[in-house]
């Protein structure tokens, strides 16, 4: 009996321990395993997205940067995010990117905010303003001057999240088939020039035309356009404008530092795992910097080739023309600020930042550039 009682006692203790182990496992381990399995499934899911652009697919910098963005995102995500890039007119037209991404036809777009002023009056502030911020200054305003928050606010109703995706730096004014010696020479001139620059050009007597990049060369060739602006020597030479125009004018008062935007379908973006969201954000930042770096590095050599090998007539706009255009620009931008309360807030933020950064640059960047030009002994 003693043996049996001892056995039963021992057995009861073992059973109790086993039951406790099972209950503990039921309360903790299976839940942890389930969570881990769910995380593992998320990590193995492959997302195949489309990216549409406003540029010809193989255009240097503007057209090739989205391809590079897609490559680095796929590598950083270990193949979990695959992005197929479509140039203008391959899936939608270059000026249809905003609506297509908003509606989910594609998840990402690479374009310019000033194309959408008809939908949102304040969008030029997030691309470029005549006689406004340079590329470096735009990057600073967006990141540290409140620009990004305002940009996201105006795009949210359209189911879009905007992020910077490159900057052209200060552009050229463009290609002309007649000399510009005074404001009179702009009268009746048909020029492809978008955004607020186009409105300034109209008030100066010209005829602005909004046209996607892929159509401009033919329009210049046939005489449907008298002039066109695009970007700067590197891109302009690739587009072949030197073969259909005689004069190349600077400076690009109308686009002193044009931000290119990467727009995401908000619903699709927010449905992604958090790590993939962060990878996409990082990818846009890489593209933003590399695109600007590429244009800065390549423009000088391209300009040399245009002038020395193709005989392009490089001309500076006369100072009195620039002063007139600046006065008109100030009027146009001030009028835009009165459109609505949101646009006024954006204008105030932008102009306040510009005043501060110009004050500092006058004793830093500007003063240094002038010092670098001083004659040798």
% of the chain exceeding 70 in pLDDT: 89
Looking at the DSSP bridge assignments, the partners of residue 174 are: 249
Query: Cα separation of 213 and 194, whole Å?
Result: 11
Say whether pLDDT at 24 is over 60: no
Q: What average pLDDT does this structure show over 7-14?
A: 42
**What's the confidence (pLDDT) of residue 44?**
85
**What's the confidence (pLDDT) of residue 159?**
98
Per-residue burial over 19-34, b if 16 or more Cβ lie within 10 Å, else e, is: eeeeeeeeeeeeeeee
Q: What average pLDDT does this structure show over 223-249?
A: 96
Helix (H, G, I), strand (E, B) or coil at 292: helix
Contact call for residues 287 and 69 (beta carbons, < 8 A): yes
Say whether pLDDT at 32 is over 60: no
Pairing label, strands 190-192, 174-176: unpaired
Domains, the chain, ordered by start: 46-167+258-295 (3.40.190.170)
Cα-Cα end-to-end distance for the chain:
117
Contact call for residues 294 and 169 (beta carbons, < 8 A): no
**What's the confidence (pLDDT) of residue 41?**
55
Structure-token pair, residue 96 = 């249809």
Contact call for residues 265 and 158 (beta carbons, < 8 A): no
**What's the confidence (pLDDT) of residue 42?**
58
Please confirm whether the linkage preceding 251 is cis (ω < 30° from 0).
yes
Q: Considering Cα of 276, then 278, then 279, then 284, what sign does the dihedral take? A: positive
Say whether pLDDT at 3 is over 60: no
Say whether pLDDT at 14 is over 80: no
Residues 174-226 have pLDDT tens digits of: 999 999 999 999 999 999 998 899 999 999 999 999 888 889 999 999 999 99
**What's the confidence (pLDDT) of residue 214?**
85
Confidence band for 36, pLDDT divided at 50, 70 and 90: low
Read off the pTM. Answer: 0.86
Residues 305-325 have pLDDT tens digits of: 999 999 999 999 999 999 999
Say whether pLDDT at 112 is over 50: yes
**What's the confidence (pLDDT) of residue 213?**
84
CA atoms within 13 A on the CB side of 303: 16
């Amino acid at each position: 009996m003693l043996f049996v009682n001892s056995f039963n006692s021992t057995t009861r203790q073992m059973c109790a321990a086993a039951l406790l182990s099972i209950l503990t496992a039921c309360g903790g381990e299976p839940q942890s395993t389930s969570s881990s399995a769910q995380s593992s499934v998320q990590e193995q899911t492959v997302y195949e997205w489309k990216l549409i652009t406003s540029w010809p697919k193989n255009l240097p910098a503007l057209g090739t940067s989205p391809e590079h963005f897609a490559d680095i995102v796929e590598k950083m995500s270990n193949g979990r995010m695959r992005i197929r890039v479509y140039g203008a007119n391959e899936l939608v037209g270059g000026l249809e990117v905003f609506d297509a991404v908003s509606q989910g036809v594609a998840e990402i777009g690479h374009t310019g905010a000033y194309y959408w002023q008809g939908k949102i009056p304040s969008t030029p502030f997030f691309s470029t303003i005549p006689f406004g911020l340079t590329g470096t200054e735009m990057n600073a305003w967006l990141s540290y001057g409140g620009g990004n928050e305002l940009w996201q606010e105006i795009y949210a109703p359209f189911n879009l999240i905007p992020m910077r995706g490159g900057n052209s730096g200060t552009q050229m004014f463009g290609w002309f088939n007649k000399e510009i010696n005074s404001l009179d020479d702009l009268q009746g001139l048909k020029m492809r020039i978008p955004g607020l620059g186009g409105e300034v050009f109209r008030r100066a007597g010209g005829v602005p035309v909004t046209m996607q990049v892929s159509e401009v060369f033919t329009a210049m060739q046939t005489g449907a356009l008298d002039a066109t602006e695009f970007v700067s020597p590197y891109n302009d030479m690739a587009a072949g404008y030197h073969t259909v125009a005689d004069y190349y004018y600077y400076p690009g008062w109308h686009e002193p530092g044009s931000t290119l935007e990467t727009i995401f379908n908000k619903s699709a973006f927010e449905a992604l795992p958090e790590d993939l969201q962060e990878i996409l954000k990082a990818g846009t930042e890489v593209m933003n910097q590399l695109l600007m770096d590429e244009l800065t590095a390549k423009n000088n050599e391209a300009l040399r080739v245009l002038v020395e090998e193709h005989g392009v007539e490089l001309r500076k706009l006369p100072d009195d023309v620039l002063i007139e255009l600046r006065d008109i620009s100030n009027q146009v931008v001030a009028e835009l600020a009165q459109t609505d309360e949101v646009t006024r807030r954006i204008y105030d933020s932008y102009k306040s930042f510009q005043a501060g950064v110009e004050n500092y640059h006058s004793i830093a960047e500007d003063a240094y550039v002038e010092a670098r030009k001083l004659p040798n002994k």
